[in-house]
Structure 1
Amino acid sequence: MELPFVTLDVFTTTRYRGNPLAVVTIPAGSPPLSQDQKQTIAREFNLSETVFVHDVPDPESNKQRVIDIFITDAEIPFAGHPTIGTAVFLRPQGVDTLIAKAGPIALVETASGHVQAEIPHNVRQHAKTLADLPAPGPGQFNVDASIRRLERDAPLFSIVNGMTFALINLPDLDNLAQVSLSGTQIPSEQLLDDGWQTGFLSKYFYVFVNQKTENSKTIFSIRSRMMEASFEDPATGSAACALSCYLTLQQPDLQNQIFRFEIDQGVEMGRESNIAVEVALRDSKIDTVKLSGTATQVMHGHVTV
């Protein structure tokens, strides 16, 4: 059996920047892939994520698609750059909803080639921080004492159950350039609240660059980097959503407002990515989270199963 695939660079209009993504289509009527087969294909692509799209027999009338999102060693409920990349790929078919494990994701085309996705969310700030690790692994924290202190005290924040980030606020871009891979995974089972102790946990470093107000909307410009053990991610939409929700909840006025976050990630590794998130509040709680971006296709072909 041969399955068509494309790769796209996501959160960029320039090939070979942004975050690469593989999208594999499972045609309607094809034999289903096992979990092991999907995991093997994701490992073969060896990208941060691979998406499997379940095609439908009636694409003219059915504008929803079920998707499965895999990293190289597990399936995950949601991730941002796979959502945006898959949405851009499927827009010519008129697809307006993706069904991920985390829930349905409504899509809107905001400009030619740009999409906005309403992200399922179940936000939670966990009681512990990295300072509560009973036995930090070798290289778990930065060698610089000031960065190490900020790492240890950073909040652990989930955008959904299974996707959690240590949100580490650094004072300037020089400090952001100094952060390095730890080579050591963070043991989520030792740090996260009961019922939340599985899934993805990594460090998300960020620096405030600018803040302005336009049309009564507060806009934050941010630079960021995402580090997970021995891997740096060029663009992490789920982390950008988590950070945007966390920062929104820190604002002094939590009445019905919309905050916009324009986040540039991957600059230091030569794969600049431009991510936008809008968070709307209702009655002092997160109401909607909307992730925006674009993607450009790089390769296409077939996977033999």
Structure 2
Amino acid sequence: MRTFHQIDVFTGRFLLGNPLAVVHGAEGLTDEQMAAFARWTNLSETTFLLPPVHADADYRVRIFTTEGELPFAGHPTLGSARAWLEAGGVPKAADLVQECGAGLVRVRRTGDRLAFAAPPLIRGGDVDPADLAQVKRALRLKDEDVVGAQWADNGPGWLALLLKDAETVLAIEPDAAAFGEHDKVGVVGPHPSGGETAFEVRAFVRTAEDPVTGSLNAAIGQWLIGTGQAPESYVAAQGTRLRRRGRVHVERDGSDIWVGGDTVIGITGSVRLP
């Protein structure tokens, strides 16, 4: 039997964030066992905690979707860190260091909140006009709705659009069949100034919408803060259309963009994997 947690990420209230399944002590599990359990949980991601290989890391994590393994993802990073700490993990230094397929990722604690340092982009820069036209068709957007577009791939493969406002983001009714090869698309739009949140974010993955997405918010933060289109520190809302209340805290500290949020332990137990 292995220790198991289910963590709600980017929320301070259980059932309003993005859930993550975490299996501790995953030594000895095969790739197929991990993949099969991830398919069974049917969550956007399931993680498996292992002893680190790198000398500077506190733990190693493997991240599986229902369809395969990811080198990095945001809400699994924060949820795995919370589960590792809850199980008695003690970091070697002030910040936790997570080892994953994308390398080493720092995770810091500020009170009860966890935040990760955004990894460098695998692919960034402008989007080809033909690709942008296809994505706009899939999201049923008009040309005047879109302010900008960037590749925002830090592992999962995001393409991101900046829209004119949060109202336009929330109004999107996508045509899932029209995405084609561009099946991981994020959109962001500003809320009126003075509110609790500065931006509204949505993430579309093939035929589904992800409730709250750390990797996408990390890449958006790098883009918008880096180009002066967002303040040095802000809070983004995500999951509104799914009746969630995700809150993602993004800030620049020196050369790093940090992406943080609250985490809630929803389920604690054990799991027997065949």
Aligned to 2:99, the other structure's residue is in SS state strand
Separation in 2, partners of 1:271, 1:249: 28
**TM-score, structure 2 as length reference:** 0.83
Gaps of 5+ in 2: none
Q: Is 1:142 paired with 2:124?
A: no
Aligned to 2:173, the other structure's residue is in SS state coil
Q: Where does residue 197 of structure 1 map in the other structure?
A: none
Q: Where does residue 44 of structure 1 map in the other structure?
A: 40
Q: Where does residue 222 of structure 1 map in the other structure?
A: 199
Amino acid corresponding to residue 10 of structure 1 in structure 2: V
Post-superposition offset of 1:36: 1.6
RMSD: 3.1
Query: In 1, are the aligned partners of 2:152 and 2:159 still within 8 Å (CA)?
Result: no
Q: Pick closer, same or farther for the CA change 1:274–1:303 going to 2, 3 Å.
A: farther
Show the 5 A alignment for 1:124-273: 124-129=123-128, 131-133=129-131, 141-143=138-140, 147-149=141-143, 154-160=148-154, 162-184=155-177, 185-187=179-181, 202-210=184-192, 221-251=198-228, 259-273=232-246
Aligned to 1:81, the other structure's residue is in SS state helix
Aligned to 2:262, the other structure's residue is in SS state strand
Post-superposition offset of 1:48: 0.6
Q: Where does residue 75 of structure 1 map in the other structure?
A: 69
Separation in 2, partners of 1:164, 1:150: 25
Q: Is 1:10 paired with 2:4?
A: no
Query: In 2, are the aligned partners of 1:220 and 1:260 still within 8 Å (CA)?
Result: no
Deviations 1:144-189 (A, max 9, x none): xxx24368885232342x333232222333322221233235415x
What is the aligned-residue identity percentage? 23
Deviations 1:39-94 (A, max 9, x none): 111111110111110147xxxxx970000011110111111111111112222422
Q: Where does residue 118 of structure 1 map in the other structure?
A: 117
Q: Pick closer, same or farther for the CA change 1:157–1:136 going to 2, 3 Å.
A: closer
Aligned to 1:187, the other structure's residue is in SS state coil
Post-superposition offset of 1:205: 1.6
Query: In 1, are the aligned partners of 2:57 and 2:104 still within 8 Å (CA)?
Result: no
Query: In 2, are the aligned partners of 1:123 and 1:242 still within 8 Å (CA)?
Result: no
Amino acid corresponding to residue 205 of structure 1 in structure 2: V
Q: For 2:251, which of 278, 296, 299 is the aligned residue?
A: 278
Deviations 1:110-135 (A, max 9, x none): 01x21122232236434433x41499
Deviations 1:253-292 (A, max 9, x none): xxxxx812311100121111011122346xxxxx312111
Larger Rg: 1
Q: How many equivalent pairs are there?
A: 263
Query: In 1, are the aligned partners of 2:116 and 2:259 still within 8 Å (CA)?
Result: yes
Q: Where does residue 78 of structure 2 map in the other structure?
A: 84
Query: In 1, are the aligned partners of 2:248 and 2:261 still within 8 Å (CA)?
Result: yes
